[in-house]
Amino acid sequence: MSTLGKSIRLNRILASQKRRVLTVAVDHMINYPVGFPKGLLHMNATLAKIVEGEPDALTMNKGVAMRYWAPYAGQVPLIIQSMALRPDEPDFADTATVEEVIGLGADAIAIAMFVYCDLEMNYLRHLAEVVRIAEPFGLPVIPHIYPLASGDEHNTVLHDAENVFYAARVGLEMGADLIKVPYTGDVASFQDIINTLPVPVVAAGGPRCATLNDAVVMAQDIGRAGAAGATMGRNVWEFDDIPLAIMQLKQAINVF
């Protein structure tokens, strides 16, 4: 029964893997305590515009789902983020349980985590435990895994092929069903990583691109690499026309 349930939920997110997907994340707010992203200040309006753009799935924290998602229930696959963390913090918060995520009707549980940090073993232990608990319920587990170095956001999260490969392999080794990692910035190296893994891989959208066209080019490259898709946040809701951004990014990632 759990295998069937997981297949149903994953197929809703991945459209049965017949095409690449563009998912949108709005789970940033509590992870960025300085310079709140303006696109997430008024969630009611932002969610309406995102849904209008018809993304393939939407990732959010449980409180936003509880207070804002009812009008859109069932229209877009829902992924609940279960972690709060920051690169410069010595701890993380487990914010939603498997049971809560199932109770909200979500299609998957997301786990944000870092590797190459002092807490790596704690993150691995937590991911393994969530996989263990979620399995009998047929709930897919989607880790968002970021390899770390020192510095601000633009050089804290590593994008080189070796470190991104390690992050993706961690997701596989812990039993994840879908793995989100940073894009390496290079089609060939990202394709090499994807080709070593038997589970779908999606690329993180990363910091906001200077223009929507830059984001579209990145989405095209991610699609060319053969990824299952991309998850965009700031490269969707920080642009003025959110539905247009989603439409163009979806088209771009499905070109190849």
> Per-residue pLDDT tens for 36-63?
788 899 999 999 999 999 999 999 999 9
Residue 123 known to be catalytic: no
More confident residue, 202 or 86: 202
How far apart are alpha carbons 74 and 84 in whole angstroms? 25
Indicate which residue of 6, 49, 62, 180 is catalytic: 180
Interval 206-255: pLDDT, tens: 888 999 999 999 999 999 999 999 999 999 999 999 999 999 999 999 98
Tell me the average pLDDT across 165-189: 97
Residue 146 known to be catalytic: yes
Domain that holds residue 18: 2-253
Residue 116 known to be catalytic: no
How far apart are alpha carbons 237 and 25 in whole angstroms? 9
CATH code, domain with 94: 3.20.20.70
CB hemisphere CA count around 51 (13 angstroms): 17
Overall domain count for the chain: 1
More confident residue, 204 or 206: 204
Instruction: Supply the pTM of this predicted model.
Output: 0.94
* Structure confidence at residue 36 (pLDDT): 76
Name 38's Cβ contacts closer than 8 Å, sequence gap at least 6: 238
Indicate which residue of 6, 27, 49, 62 is catalytic: 27
